[in-house]
Amino acid sequence: MKTLLAIGLVFSAFSAYGAKAANDTLNEDVTTYLYGMKSVYRTQYAPAAWKKQFASYDLDAEFKTAIEAVQSRPELSLDDSRTIFKNFIYAMKDYHTSISFIATESATLPILVRGTETNLYIVNIDRTKLPEATFPFAAGDELVSVNGKPAMEELAALQAETPANVPATDKALAEATFFRRRASRGIHVPQGPITLGIKKKGSTDVSETQLIWDYTSEKIAPRGTLSSSTLFANTSNKKIENQSGLFHPQMSVAAKDASNAETPFDLGAHKSFIPALGKKIWESSADSIYYSYIYMTPERKLVGYIRISSYGEDDYEKAIAEFAKTIALFESTTDSMVIDQVNNPGGSVFYLYALSSFLSSSPVKTPLHRMSVSQADVAEALDILGKLAAVKTDAEAQTLFAGALNGYPASYEFARFYQSYAQFIVSEWTAGRKLTRPYWIGGVDHINPADTHYTKPILFLTNHLDFSGGDFMPATLQDNKRVTVFGSRTAGAGGYVQDVNLVNNVGIASFRVTASIAERVDGNPIENLGVQPDVVYEMTNEDFTQGFAPYAAAINAAVNKQMAKP
């Protein structure tokens, strides 16, 4: 569930723009919107001090740059405005602070590519659209060129359309969008024929084949000069929701593209691209929420495997019940467990906490957060305190929090911790702090073990496309010395996020603001730094040509090493 923060524009803040009697140009409306964005980030952006230290980021300087970019183009185009907004947003080097545009233009090909630092490979082909007779290539073949240019140069050009953050994650995101271009993401959309140069596995020859982009045109007409009377026309009728991120924390990135059929390489895919790690002796049913199995090693050890694709579910209670049942099975039958969390876009904080409770026999210490606070947050805290005062039993706590904790157990004790959290928010604001001192979300400083929990070694798989909750889960378990993290570093989206809607005529659907910044046990933030694995593994060319067999072998080697420890 995404948190929606819809903010009505205050006329007094924009009097220089809102009181015009004539018409409103795109330049003027873009300027107005930039002022609104600046106001949101000044109020809500929690990592500002860290970004100043880490990346010399300064909101006023970036705002000045954006305004100057608008002023330097007297006849600003829609593409120009999108570039200005993207540069303003992504200067923060924050994967949470994305922006989406209202646009229908898109272009796709039924092919996915991924790769190494030097090569790109086909990893998936939609055979319903490209049968083998039409496209005689396969997963593991190398994409060498695009329209006569080296494929890696084309990838670098696409990556350069968005200001840089973490190089490995930026590259992985560019690979994901290589043949999935959407104007709503602010990406240039091609059309017409495209020529691909492909080298088959085991061959030195490059074969060229021509395809054509599956192109959807822009159906929303470009705006001209608008009458100023329409600028704020629907503001008074728009529903205003102000659910504070303090009390509805979400750790996720807006990245999954629902318009495409799911593949094992997508963010949040039910099954990942990791091949079977051994001979399966048990496997979850086809309709399970979690894909899981038990396999036997050559040494006749039993290992459990479970895929956590995201930290968001349609039915949290059902998901928790299934997870608990699977963990109970693993605890009674296996010698070790592998948690596959690659390509995880994150999700609910409390759901993440609930899953953690099944993975340890001792309390799990949670990260501290510095959180941005406003009057709206204080008002919600006071309302919550009033309701909590009436809670005297577990049953009353469960009624109060019904459905709000996304699977995390509500109890009288939890209500007391939550009460201290709400009191903390009020006291921080009263003390004059709009960014709090470090504290625990919901007052949960430790996650107590569930009745059913795993006690044996856990290997936790991560990669460059693990974001937000996908950063926090391995960070929390690693800091508590409960897992061995294997793979590549996570993206480093280190806080909870809020979606922001401002009424506008500049084609923006929404943008996002990171409203907290978390600290690990060593005092360092997760933001930008991500989680460094205990056992590093980066994909090789052989992984792509051999169906990721070397990767699977390395996972099993790490599992065996864990089990060999006394």
At 129, the amino acid letter reads: K
Count of the separate structural domains present in the chain: 2
204: CATH: 2.30.42.10
Residue ending a domain, choose from 185, 216, 247: 216
- Pick 332 or 251 by higher pLDDT: 332
pLDDT for 565: 84
Closest CA to 255 of 544, 25, 561, 2: 2
Token couple for 87? 């540069």
pLDDT for 226: 56
pLDDT for 125: 97
Residue ending a domain, choose from 216, 233, 259: 216
Query: What is d(CA 485, CA 63) in angstroms, rounded to the nearest whole number?
Result: 39
Residue 23 pLDDT more than 80? no
How many CB atoms within 10 Å of residue 362?
12
Residue 11 pLDDT more than 50? no
Total count of residues recorded for the chain: 566
At 43, the amino acid letter reads: T
Residue 464 lies in a domain: no
Residue 527 lies in a domain: no
pLDDT band at 17 (very low <50, low <70, confident <90, very high): very low
3-state secondary structure of 252: strand
Domain of 396 in residue numbering reads as: 373-434
Query: What is d(CA 363, CA 184) in angstroms, rounded to the nearest whole number?
Result: 43
Determine the Cα angle at 67 with ends 61 and 69, to 5°.
105
Task: Write the DSSP string, 524-563.
Answer: -BSTTT----SEE----HHHHHTTTHHHHHHHHHHHHHHH
382: CATH: 1.20.920.70
Residue 230 lies in a domain: no
Whether residue 275 contacts residue 549, with contact meaning beta carbons closer than 8 Å, is answered with: yes
Residue 399 lies in a domain: yes
Buried b (16+ CB within 10 A) or exposed e, 538-566: ebeeebbbbebebbbebbbebbeebbeee
Could you tell me the pTM of the whole model? 0.92
Q: Which residues pair with 508 in a beta bridge?
A: 101
pLDDT band at 257 (very low <50, low <70, confident <90, very high): low
Residue 397 lies in a domain: yes
**pLDDT tens readout for residues 281-328:** 999 999 999 999 999 999 999 999 999 999 999 999 999 999 999 999
- Pick 222 or 76 by higher pLDDT: 76
- pLDDT above 90 coverage of the chain, percent: 87
Whether residue 476 contacts residue 517, with contact meaning beta carbons closer than 8 Å, is answered with: no
**pLDDT tens readout for residues 383-414:** 999 999 999 999 999 999 998 999 999 999 99
pLDDT for 207: 97
Distance between the two ends of the chain, CA-based, in angstroms? 43
pLDDT band at 16 (very low <50, low <70, confident <90, very high): very low
Residue 240 pLDDT more than 70? no
Residue 124 lies in a domain: yes
H or E element, residue 365: strand 364-365
pLDDT for 255: 60
pLDDT for 248: 78
**pLDDT tens readout for residues 152-195:** 999 999 999 999 999 999 999 999 999 999 999 999 999 999 99
Strands (E), 200-261: 206-212, 214-216, 226-227, 250-252
pLDDT band at 554 (very low <50, low <70, confident <90, very high): very high
Whether residue 468 contacts residue 345, with contact meaning beta carbons closer than 8 Å, is answered with: yes
Q: How far is CA 163 from CA 64, 120, 427, 528, in A?
A: 17, 22, 38, 14
Residue 194 lies in a domain: yes
CA atoms within 13 A of residue 55's CA, in its CB half-sphere:
20
pLDDT for 403: 87
Residue 408 lies in a domain: yes
Residue 333 pLDDT more than 50? yes
Q: Give the residue carrying structure tokens 């904790």.
A: 405
Report the relative pairing of strands 364-365 and 336-340 from DSSP bridges: unpaired
Query: What is d(CA 482, CA 363) in angstroms, rounded to the nearest whole number?
Result: 11
Residue ending a domain, choose from 216, 239, 261: 216
**pLDDT tens readout for residues 480-489:** 999 999 999 9
CA trace torsion 93, 98, 101, 105 (10° rounding): 80
**pLDDT tens readout for residues 436-461:** 999 999 999 999 999 999 999 999 99
